[in-house]
Amino acid sequence: MAKPQRINGYSGTVVEYSHYLEQLVYQLRTQVLQLQIQVQNLHQQLDQRSAPVQCQPSPTQPSSEKWKFRIETPGEQSSKPPRKPPRKPTSEPTSEPASEPTSEPSELSKLLSLIPKDENEWSARRQLVCLSEPEDLVDAFCLLTRLSSQSCPLRTGDKPEDGASISDVLQDYGQFSIALNGRRNHAIQISNYSTVLFVNLVSIDLATGATLEAADSHMKKVLKVLQRKCEADSKYLSRLRTAALWPVQQTKELYQKGLMHRAWEIFVICGPSIHNYKSITYCSGSAEFANKVVVCKPPEIEPQAEISFDVAFLSKIILGERRSLYVESGLYGHAKDRECPRQTKENLMNVRTGPACNPTRTITHQLHLYI
């Protein structure tokens, strides 16, 4: 029997070859997850282009339709029954779909499929969106709360020495491309979550005295930049504000189920666009979302447990001295209900000691520079 050929003609010891295969499997797994992210992003782009945007034909361009004219005789005109006047619509036309839940919760299924179900999947998803290390979390926290503009370095490493072989150069640059793609996935998820934060801040402003026209104007300006065009009416924008509250409520329910800090983390590393949140909110089964998520109880010590990305908590950090508006709005219930253990400002700045708390010391030392 012929000796089986090694993959890619790898020449080395059996131990080295096994390590090579292990690394190859990990790279393929990462590529599969990246493809899933790309498919999700394509769906989001299609939804953003189709949902609130209506393309109108240009009045300056001639129509390609051919017109046919026919002159009727007086006899033909008199033989026709009188025309009925056109019936007026009962309400103004709108691009907004009906408010009844849809029968096909496709966006909800997409979100559920992205949520990790075991420790390996949690680790892979965090690495895919570059939110696995303490410094990544600090950068993202400071970026979302506008505490620092010097955030999110690429961290792609240094290129090989000049004497390196072409194989080493290719392997290094391949990893460099993967790292850049990871930052792309990171940017998409952070952008999606920041939009949810922004819409919630608009809701706080509206609930504490702002006019509806001012709130809609703020949203239209941002959505116009994000999707190049925005012709959404006030009713659609109102539903986006309702949709932005959905992950807030689900975070609370998932926390009570035992997911702890991973309740908010689901929406940071897996959350879709604000338009897809709207589709999820109004689809059948959205109320049972928390019951469909696999509860994977997190370990006691991991970096994500020491820094909260909960929408309600970040909103108070962003508002700063105006954080009283957060309480006045009444959108998130009592303040104590929205703060999980170890997520207050005092705990973030409390630098603990002991070998088991090194992740805490890393994060709190860095946050101390900003908060």
Cβ–Cβ < 8 Å for 259, 295: yes
Cβ–Cβ < 8 Å for 219, 202: yes
Cα separation, 135 vs 146, in Å, equals 16
pLDDT for residue 2: 60
| Separate counts of helices (H) and strands (E) for the chain | 15, 0
| Lookup: tokens for 228 | 């190049």
Cα separation, 289 vs 280, in Å, equals 10
189: number of Cβ within 10 Å = 23
What is the three-class DSSP state of 30? helix
For 249, phi then psi, to 5°, come to -65, -40
pLDDT for residue 139: 85
Bridge partners, residue 102, by sequence: 283
Domain ranges of the chain: 110-156+166-371
Tell me the pLDDT of the chain (371 aa) as tens digits: 566 777 777 777 776 777 677 777 767 777 777 777 777 777 766 766 665 544 444 444 444 444 454 555 555 555 555 555 555 444 333 444 444 444 445 888 889 989 999 999 999 899 888 888 888 888 888 878 877 655 555 566 666 777 778 888 788 878 878 777 778 888 899 999 999 999 999 998 888 888 999 999 999 999 988 887 788 899 999 999 999 999 999 999 999 998 889 999 999 999 999 999 999 998 888 888 999 999 888 887 888 888 889 998 888 888 877 766 666 666 665 433 344 334 434 433 332 223 333 444 455 555 544 45
Radius of gyration of the chain (CA): 27
Closest Cα partner for 309 from 348, 268, 276, 337? 268
pLDDT for residue 141: 87
Question: DSSP state, 342?
Answer: T
| Lookup: tokens for 273 | 């666009």
360: number of Cβ within 10 Å = 23
Cα separation, 322 vs 324, in Å, equals 5
Closest Cα partner for 147 from 351, 319, 268, 269? 319
DSSP conformation letters of 182-210: HHHHHHHHHHHHHHHHHHHHHHHHHHTT-
Between helix 212-227 and helix 166-207 the angle, nearest 10°, is 170
pLDDT for residue 50: 61
pLDDT for residue 367: 52
pLDDT for residue 89: 44
Torsion of CA 51, 53, 58, 64, to 10 degrees: -10
Cα separation, 342 vs 270, in Å, equals 23
Measured at the CA of 108, the angle between CA 216 and CA 188, to 5 degrees, comes to: 60
Closest Cα partner for 364 from 145, 134, 190? 134
